[in-house]
Amino acid sequence: MTTTFDPSALPQLQQQRIERPWRRKPPIFTWSVVLATLIPLAIVGWIYWSTDIPGAIVMTVIYLPLQLIASGVAAFATRGRRGILDSVIIVNAIGATLFTLIVLLSVIGSLIARGITAISAHFIYQNNVYVSPSTPLEYGGIGHAILGTVIIVGISMLIAVPIGVATAIYITEVRGRAVPYVRFFVQAMAGVPSVVAGLFILTIIVATGAFQQGAFAGGLAYAILMLPTVARTAEEVLKLVPEDLRTGALALGSTRARTVLRVVLPAARTGIITAIILGVARVIGETAPLLLAAGSADATVVNPFGGPIAAIPTYIFNNVALPYPDAVARAWASALVLIVLVSILFVLARVIGRGRLSSK
């Protein structure tokens, strides 16, 4: 006896629609949300266009309370008294988020609007030697300042990263008696104003004649600012390394040093990289330390000990207040370049940080 396969004998697959039952809302809900959004906007729009009250005041004094009341009424209509507090909190949260976004976007927007005119290929790689404040935008660039920033930040990384990571290791792995004091000092260091870091290097390195103004002295000043950020972030990521891994390594006959170097640090590798990038982002826009410790220059300087050197923040500082529109445009463009550099760093930190989460 043989049976042949008969497809029609199979039960028919039901065509079911994808649904999300928890999102089903009564019609009154939809309508009250629509009305609670449109009515305040309509009222505010009418007030704004028909009176002379400034927009900022209309938004803060009239629109926000109005929106709160409207949402409260809508929530009351759909969910009763319990809904009111909910809606107040949600409206406030959304409003605060929008406010932050608007501030941020207007900063970036104005940077782009004012800086874009001066941006060009030669602006990125040429230097400032044959350029005076009145030179038109067809000539010159901030290549020397970009290079200077890279050199100075590089030097500060060479100094601050090993010390910062070592400090974090002392706090989380060595766990010596001095941990509370070390942590206190690192926190206090995070509060040092950047101009103080610059003054410190100026007085003990430059004024004593040990080294002249330049990339090395500027890097030292940056390192002072970078160190607490790196140390504290690295401490946080080392704390995330499960204790099991440390005991596991010790139970295999590992010394404490090998445990840290071969197990704990590799497990926290991506987090440490994030800490370094955050440290760089912390200092890269600092101006005061460089004005004091690094000086400024128009030519391209490569030698860290070769005298005053340009950097993006000092370039901006020197140009933005000049009475020449082209110099001001260059300053804005430099600020744009700086923001782009920092954004790249943060995106890098995010990407690497995500890698850590996915690999557990």
Which of 253/323 has CB closer to other proteins? 253
Question: Rounded to an integer, what distance in angstroms lies between the CA atom of residue 317 and that of residue 255?
Answer: 52
**What residues numbered 64-103 form the site for other proteins, per CB under 8 A?**
none
Which of 249/291 has CB closer to other proteins? 249
Which of 51/358 has CB closer to other proteins? 358
Q: How far is the CB of 229 from other proteins (least distance, A)?
A: 24
Which of 30/255 has CB closer to other proteins? 255
Cβ contacts of residue 3 below 8 Å, gap of 6+?
none
Out of 187, 255, 303, 343, name the contact with other proteins by CB under 8 A.
Answer: 255
Q: How far is the CB of 158 from other proteins (least distance, A)?
A: 25
- CB atoms under 10 Å from CB of 104, counted, come to 10
- CB atoms under 10 Å from CB of 338, counted, come to 23
Question: Rounded to an integer, what distance in angstroms lies between the CA atom of residue 215 and that of residue 201?
Answer: 12
**What residues numbered 265-304 form the site for other proteins, per CB under 8 A?**
266-267, 269
**What residues numbered 213-252 form the site for other proteins, per CB under 8 A?**
242, 244-245, 247-252
DSSP codes of every residue in 46-87: HHHHHS---HHHIIIIIIHHHHHHHHHHHHHHHH-THHHHHH
Out of 128, 259, 287, 334, name the contact with other proteins by CB under 8 A.
Answer: 259
* Residue 183 in contact with other proteins, rule: CB under 8 A: no
Q: How far is the CB of 324 from other proteins (least distance, A)?
A: 55
Q: In which region does residue 135 sit, left (phi positive, over 0), alpha (psi from -120 to 50) or beta (all else)?
A: beta
Among the listed ranges 3-11, 72-80, 255-263, 272-280, the one in contact with other proteins (CB under 8 A) is 255-263
Using an 8 Å Cβ cutoff, are 283 and 222 in contact?
A: yes
DSSP codes of every residue in 180-201: HHHHHHHHHHHTS-HHHHHHHH
By rule CB under 8 A, what count of residues binds other proteins? 21
Q: Where are the alpha helices (DSSP H) in 170-295?
A: 179-190, 194-201, 215-240, 243-251, 256-258, 265-267, 269-283, 288-293
Which of 52/244 has CB closer to other proteins? 244
Q: How far is the CB of 354 from other proteins (least distance, A)?
A: 15
Q: How far is the CB of 353 from other proteins (least distance, A)?
A: 16
**What residues numbered 331-360 form the site for other proteins, per CB under 8 A?**
359-360
Which of 2/358 has CB closer to other proteins? 358
Cβ contacts of residue 277 below 8 Å, gap of 6+?
345, 346, 348, 349, 352
Amino acid symbol at 144? H
Which of 1/251 has CB closer to other proteins? 251
- CB atoms under 10 Å from CB of 152, counted, come to 34
Residue 211: what are its φ and ψ, rounded to 5°?
Answer: -135, 150
Which of 7/253 has CB closer to other proteins? 253
- Residues found near other proteins in the complex (CB under 8 A): 242, 244-245, 247-255, 258-259, 262-263, 266-267, 269, 359-360
